[in-house]
A = this chain, B = another copy of it.
Amino acid sequence: MALIVQKFGGSSVANAERVFNVAQIITETYKQGNDVVVVLSAQGDTTDDLIEKANEINPSASKREMDMLLATGEQISIALMAMAIEKLGYPVVSLTAWQIGMQTSSSYGSARINKVEARRIHEELDRKRIVLVAGFQGVNRHHDITTLGRGGSDTTAVALAVALKADLCQIYTDVDGVYTADPRLVEDAQKLDEITYDEMLELASLGAQVLHNRSVEMAKRYHMQMEVLSSFSRKPGTIVKEVVKVEKTYVSGVAQDKKITRIALIGLEDVPGMAFRVFNLLAKNKINVDIILQSIGRHDTKDISFTIDESNCDLCVKVLQENQESLKFDHMDVSSDVAKVSVVGAGMVNNPGVAATMFEALYEVGINIRMISTSEIKVSVLIDKEDTERAMRAVHRKFFQ
C-alpha cells in the first residue's frame, strides 16, 4: 500500500468518455489498496474558451480577475471526475485550492507555491476517500485566487506529493513516456525506462515538452520520484529520479527546439564590460538568453550572437534598438530561420567524444552548424530550421543504433 499522487492533463479529461477512462485508472489504483490523490487540469479547450470570453470584454483585464475566471476550469474538471467516480461506486471528494490550503505568492498568473496545508487531504484519505484536487491554482495571503502559470498542474501534483510525503507522483499525459527523440519525427526513437532529474530538465528546456521544468525542479529538490505515462495506453512509463542504473546508455535523448530566434549584434566596440552591459539590459527586461557566442569582428570590434525564445523577439529587438547608441553596435541581424538540436545524457560527463560524435553525424548528412553550446550533460547546436528533422534523425541514428 502506498500514497500515490496522479496528475491528468486537459486532453486526458476532454470529454465524458475520457473522464471515465481516467476514472478507471484512478479507481484501479485505489482498488490495489493505495491512497490516491489526483490533480486535474481544465478539460480540453476550456481554458482557451474562457480566455476568449475575457478578451471579448477586456483584452487588458487585470491578472487577478483573469485568475478568478480561469480557476473555474479546473473546478469543473474535479466536480465532473468526482461524479464519474461516484458512478463507478467509489468514495470520492473534490477539493479546490483554497479548500486544501494551497498557499502561493501574490503574483497573479504566475504564482509560486509557498506552502500546502495537508490537513484536509489527510482527513479525507483517513476516511478512505479518493481525493481530487484542482490543479493550476492557489490562494495568496490576501485570500485571493491565483494561478500558477505554465506547467501549473504538474507543479501542483509534485507540491502535493512532497507535502503528503507520497511514494510516487505519476504524471499522465498523451505520450507514454520520455523518448530518446520525438517519436513523431524519429521513427526508431526508443522509450526510456528511467531518466535522471537533470536529464529531464535539460530535455524539457530543450523543447521535449513532456514535463514542465518547474515540476521537475521541485521533484529534484525534494527527491520525489515521478513517472511520466499515458492515460490512453495503460503501459509503464518513464521513471524520473535521482540516479538511474549505471549500465544505461550515456546519452538519454535527442531534442529539438524550433521556437527560437537568433540575434547578432555586429560591430560592438571591443572594450571590457560590453557583454555584461548587453545581457544585463536583457535580464532587466526579463528576456531569457540561451546560447551565447562571441567572436572577433573586423577593425577592433567584436560580434555577439545569442538565441532567445521567439516570443521575446519583438521586445528584445525594441530594447536593443533603444539602446543602440549606448551599446555602440553597428547593426543588428535577426533570424528566425534557425533551430536547436541537442543531445542530453548524465553519462556524457564521463564519456568524452559525445560532442564530436554529434558533429560527425551532422557532417555526414551535410548540415552546417551555426552555433554550439555545451554543458556537463548536454551538447546543443544551432542549425538552419529546414534541416531540423534531418538532423534529428541523423544524430539519433548515430547514438542509438
Residues of A within 8 A of B (CB): 16, 19-20, 50, 53-54, 56-58, 60-62, 64-66, 68-69, 71-72, 75-76, 78-80, 82-84, 86-87, 93-94, 96, 98-99, 120, 143-145
Contacts and interface: CB of A to CB of B under 8 A. Distances in A.
A54 B82 CA distance: 10
Contacts of A120: 143
Contact of A58 (B56, B86, B94): B86
A71 B75 contact: yes
Given A99-B144, A120-B143, 14 more contacts: A16-B53, A54-B79, A54-B80, A54-B83, A57-B84, A58-B83, A61-B82, A68-B82, A69-B79, A69-B80, A71-B75, A72-B72, A72-B75, A98-B98
Contacts of A76: 50, 53, 69, 72
A19 B87 contact: no
A79 B65 contact: yes
Contacts of A60: 87
Could you say how many copies of this chain the assembly holds? Answer: 2
A44 to B, nearest CB: 12
A144 B94 CA distance: 9
A71 B72 CA distance: 9
Contacts of A72: 72, 75-76, 79
Nearest to A84: B57
A142 B84 CA distance: 23
B94 A56 contact: no
A68 B79 CA distance: 6
Of A19, A65, A71, most B-chain CB atoms within 10 Å: A65
A79 B66 contact: yes
Nearest to A54: B83
A61 B83 contact: yes
16 contacts: A20-B57, A50-B76, A53-B76, A54-B83, A58-B83, A58-B86, A65-B82, A65-B86, A68-B75, A68-B78, A68-B82, A68-B94, A69-B76, A71-B75, A99-B143, A99-B144
